[in-house]
């Protein structure tokens, strides 16, 4: 039986930082130079080997010509774009589209129950594969 393709990965702060750096036409070395840090410092953030502190986010954002607020807005924008594509793909399935009309009428506990059951189904399917 063929395995399903892995779900798309939601953009993270690390992928957003990398995209913004590339969009600015900067190498890791050039960005690090603007911040007076080693290139490996930038690499660690982009590879999610460490999480930047708020002061470090301010340094990164400043080196990219952004504020920390603008950096987070970019991250959220990318996350929204990613989720929109996934939502479109999900709603293209007739069964999911038919179920989707009932979601607004569910209470919080009902939604959590449905999501918990779906999570169990997904995890049990992965273990069986």
For residues 27 and 17, what is the distance between their CA atoms, to the nearest angstrom?
A: 12
Q: Are residues 71 and 120 in the same domain?
A: no
Q: What is the pLDDT at residue 71? A: 84
79 lies in the same domain as 98: no
pLDDT given for residue 7 in this prediction: 42
Give the model's confidence band at 8: pLDDT under 50 very low, under 70 low, under 90 confident, else very high: very low
List the domain range (segments joined by +) for residue 116: 93-129
CA-to-CA distance for 93 and 114, rounded, in angstroms?
A: 18
Q: What is the pLDDT, as a whole number, of residue 108?
A: 81
Beta carbons within 8 Å of 62's beta carbon, 6+ residues apart: none
The CATH number that applies at residue 72 is: 1.10.260.40
- 21, 79: one domain: yes
The 10s digit of each residue's pLDDT in 46-88 is 988 888 888 888 899 999 998 888 888 887 776 666 555 666 7
- 86 lies in the same domain as 98: no
pLDDT for the residue numbered 41: 92
Instruction: Report the chain's mean pLDDT, rounded to a whole number.
Output: 79
pLDDT at 129: 58
34, exposed or middle or buried, with CB in 10 Å at 0-12, 13-18, 19+? middle
Residues 73 and 111 both lie in one domain: no
Answer yes or no: do 79 and 21 share one domain. yes
State residue 5's pLDDT score: 44
- 18 and 45, same structural domain? yes
CA atoms within 13 A on the CB side of 47: 8
Please check the confidence at residue 17 and state whether its pLDDT lies above 50.
yes
pLDDT, tens digit (0-9, with 9 covering 90-100), for 18-29: 989 999 999 999
pTM of the model: 0.54
Q: How many domains is the chain partitioned into structurally?
A: 2
């Amino acid at each position: 039986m063929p395995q399903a393709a892995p779900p798309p990965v939601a953009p993270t702060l690390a992928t957003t930082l990398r995209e913004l750096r590339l969009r600015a036409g900067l190498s890791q070395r050039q960005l690090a130079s603007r911040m007076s840090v080693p290139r490996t410092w930038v690499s660690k953030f982009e590879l999610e080997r460490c999480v930047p502190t708020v002061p470090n986010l301010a340094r990164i954002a400043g080196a990219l010509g952004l504020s920390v607020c603008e950096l987070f807005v970019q991250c959220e924008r990318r996350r929204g774009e990613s989720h929109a594509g996934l939502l479109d793909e999900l709603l293209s399935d007739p069964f999911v589209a038919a179920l989707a009309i009932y979601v607004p009428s569910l209470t919080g506990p009902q939604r959590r129950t449905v999501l918990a059951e779906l999570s169990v189904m997904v995890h049990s399917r992965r273990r069986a594969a």
